[in-house]
Amino acid sequence: MFKEQPRGISDQSAAQQAVEQTNVVLTSLDIPKDSLIHQYKWASHGFVGHLTSGQVEKLRKDPRIDHVVKDYYYKAIQTGRIESIGSFSNKSNMVATTQTTPWGVNRVGGPLDGTGKTAWILDSGIDLDHPDLNVDFNRSASFVANESADDNLGHGTYVAGILAAKANSQDAVGVAAGATVVAVKVCGQDGGCFVGDVKAGVEYAAGNFSSGDVVNMSLGFPSYATGISDLENSIINAANSGLKFTIAAGNEKQNANNVSPARVEHSNVWTVSAFRQGDAFSVIFDYDHCGNDNAGSNYGNPPIEYSEPGERIRSLLIGGGVGMGFDGPCTASGTSYAAPHLAGLLLVKGSVDLDGTVSNDPDGDPDPIAIDEEPLQVSVDGPSIVNSGDIAMFTSSVSHQEGSVSYQWYYRTYPEQSWILDSGATASTYSHTFYNSGGYENQAVKLEVNSAGETASDIQSVYVQPCTRTATTSGGTISPDNPQPCN
C-alpha cells in the first residue's frame, strides 16, 4: 500500500496516477510487471503481486510505500457444509415447477419491485445464465485466478436469488424481485478467498457503481488476518462516496467485532445477524445434523445493526430450480442468507422500517428486525356525479393499518375553499347533501384516517349538476357558502 491514500473514491485522474505510481515503483525496483496480480486505484492505492522475499524487502524500504503484508487465504464463505462442488446444484434437489415465495421474503415485506436497481454480489460468482436472475454479464468479473465469474460452488447464486430472483412463474422470488445482479467473484469453488482478491472486488464495485447500488458481502475473515485493515479501509472509502454495503455477521457464535468485514462501522455499512421463523435469534443453526450443529449467528451491537431471516432459507440453485441449499436433508442457514434480505430492502427503498426485535439475543441487546412496511392507505368510493339536492353515500377502504383506525370526513363546495370539518362524521361511511344553486359544480369530500400514529387521506371529487329551477331564498342570500335547495 502506498503512503498517499484517498479518503473516498478516486476520480479518473487520481486513479490513473495510482496506476502510474505502481509502474514507476515496479520499474525502479526491478520487479517484473507481470508479477502484478491486482491494481488498487479507486478506494485505495496499491497493488498485489507475486513477490520474492528480496522484492518485499525492497518495497518495505521504499519511501513511497506505507506497508507490505502477505496475502491471507481463508474459507471466508461460511455455509452449513461445503464438501464438494455442486452442493448447491439442482441434481439432488427437486426442481420447482411453480414459483415459491420463501418465508424470509414474506417476513421482510417482499417481494418488492427491484426493476432498474443494481446489486453487486461479492461472492463465489453467480450462475451467469440462470433463467430466474437478471445477471449483468458484461459487468460481471472474476478476481480469482483461473476462474470465470460463473458460479462453480452455488453460494453466490443462492445469495443472489434471495436478493433478486424474478417475480415470474418459476423457482423462487427475491426481496428485490427482478433487480440486476453483478457477479463479482472473489472466492473460489471451495469457498476459499484471499483478502487481496476480496479487496479487488470492493475496488471494482467502487469504481463502477451508480447511486443507490448495494454491495452484498456474505463472507468473513478472522480479524487478525493480514491485510484485513486494508480491506476494511477500502470498504469505508467506498462507503464515504455513497456505496452501500450489507455484510454477514458470521456464524461462529461469537462477538461480530472479532470478524471482518462484519466489524466495519459506517453509516453506509450494515452488519446483519440471523433469526429463525418465530423471530428467535439463531443461537444455534438448525442444520439437520449436517455436521455444523454448533454454529450460530454472531452477535454484538455494534457492529450489528439489524437481524434478518437466516434459517431454512429457500433460494435458487445453479442451473435452475429451488432447494434448501444442500444435498440430502440439510438446510440452508447462516448469516450469509440474512444479509441479502437487508440488501434487497435497501436496494428498493433506500431505508427500512422496523418490526420489533429478535428474542434470545446472546448479548442482551436484541437486534431490531428490518422490513419494508407498506404505508397506511385509504380509498374513498362514491358517486362522481349528483344532482343538486341529492344525498350521496361514500364508503372507505383502509389497508396496511396497525390496530384500530379513526376516521374524519371533510367537504368543500368549490375548489379554492378550505376543507370544512364535518365534526360528527367519524365513521367509515359518510353521507353528504350536495347543492349547486350558485354555479359551483366541482365539489368534493375528503377522508383522513389515522392508525398507530400514521395518517392517510383520499379525496372524492363530485360534479354537482346545477339547478334547472329557481332556488329558494328563504335562507337568505344564495352563495356557495349558503347553498339552498331548488324549488
Preceding peptide of 362 cis, ω within 30°: no
C-alpha cell at 438: 350558485
Active site (annotated) includes residue 155 = yes
C-alpha cell at 196: 487481496
Q: Please tell me what DSSP assigns to residue 374.
A: P
Exposure b/e, 127-148, CB count within 10 A at least 16 = b: bbebebbbbeeebbbbbbeebe
C-alpha cell at 23: 509502474
Which of left, alpha, beta for 82 (phi over 0: left; psi -120 to 50: alpha)? beta
Q: Please tell me what DSSP assigns to residue 375.
A: P
Residue 379 forms beta bridges with which residues? 397
Q: Which of 38, 130, 155, 432 is catalytic?
A: 155
Q: Which of 336, 388, 396, 437 is catalytic?
A: 336
Cα(275)–Cα(96) distance, integer angstroms: 25
Q: Given the DSSP bridges, would you call strands 391-399 and 377-381 parallel, antiparallel or unpaired?
A: antiparallel
Q: Which distant-in-sequence residues (6+ apart) come within 8 Å of 387 by Cβ?
A: 464, 465
Q: What is the DSSP string of 159-188?
A: HHHHHH--SSSSSB--SEET-EEEEEE-B-
Cα(118)–Cα(140) distance, integer angstroms: 12
Preceding peptide of 131 cis, ω within 30°: no
SS3 state at 151: coil
Q: Which of 123, 132, 213, 458 is catalytic?
A: 123
What is the distance of C-alpha 65 from the center of its chain?
38
Active site (annotated) includes residue 336 = yes
Residues tagged active-site: 123, 155, 336
